Amino acid sequence: MERALDQIQRLFDGITPEQEHLPTPCRAWDVRQLANHIVGEVHYFAVVTAGGERKETGEDFLGDDWPAAFRASAGELRQAWRDPGVADRMIKLPYAEVTAEWTAGQQIAELAVHAWDLATATGRPTDLDPEVGAAALAWSHDNIRPEFRGNEADGYHIGPEVTVPDDAPLYDRIAAFGGRQP
């Protein structure tokens, strides 16, 4: 988790004001909207990991200092995972109650694919942390089912898998499995 959060932090630290409205691989979002989603998701990850209930607010999580906003949400999540009892806890998500281990994998996978999204949108290298990527891809293959996939217009967050060669770069395989075109 630490490495996944650090990876996103480095990307946030490199975003320039001119990149705010660039398109992203998440077709419905520009860089600002994607960044806001990432900060918001990390905040919500912290809430549910700590035993709270996720409540969508639609708020702007970024403010004027995007790196600081991410750092604050990441700090909340780090603190939630440091709770001595968290590993044995069941985590209540809006759609299911799952183990802490499952939740950690889901959070790492989400952070990894959005690291690729953000790097791609801002012209940064996508050869990101291989340990994070391997964990994310393994979790995704084990847990993302065909019924979870569909078009954004129909309300799905994961598009149909895109075919890439088996030897494609790791994060391109993550992106393709997540329905993005590397």
pLDDT on residue 84: 92
- What is the reported pLDDT for 165? 96
Choose among 134, 129, 41: nearest CA to 93. Answer: 41
Q: What is the pLDDT of residue 171?
A: 97
Domains of the chain, with CATH numbers? 2-177 (1.20.120.450)
Interacting residues of 146 by C-beta distance below 8 A, sequence separation 6+: none
Under a CB-based contact definition with an 8 Å cutoff, are residues 91 and 48 in contact?
Answer: yes
pLDDT of residue 53: 82
Q: What's the pLDDT score for residue 158?
A: 84
pLDDT, residue 96, reads 84
pLDDT of residue 95: 80
For the stretch 102-134, pLDDT in tens is 999 999 999 999 999 999 999 999 999 999 999
State the pLDDT at residue 74: 98
Low-confidence ranges of the chain (pLDDT < 70): 152-153, 155-156
C-alpha separations of 55 from 107, 139, 151 in Å: 17, 25, 24
CA 167 to chain centre: 23
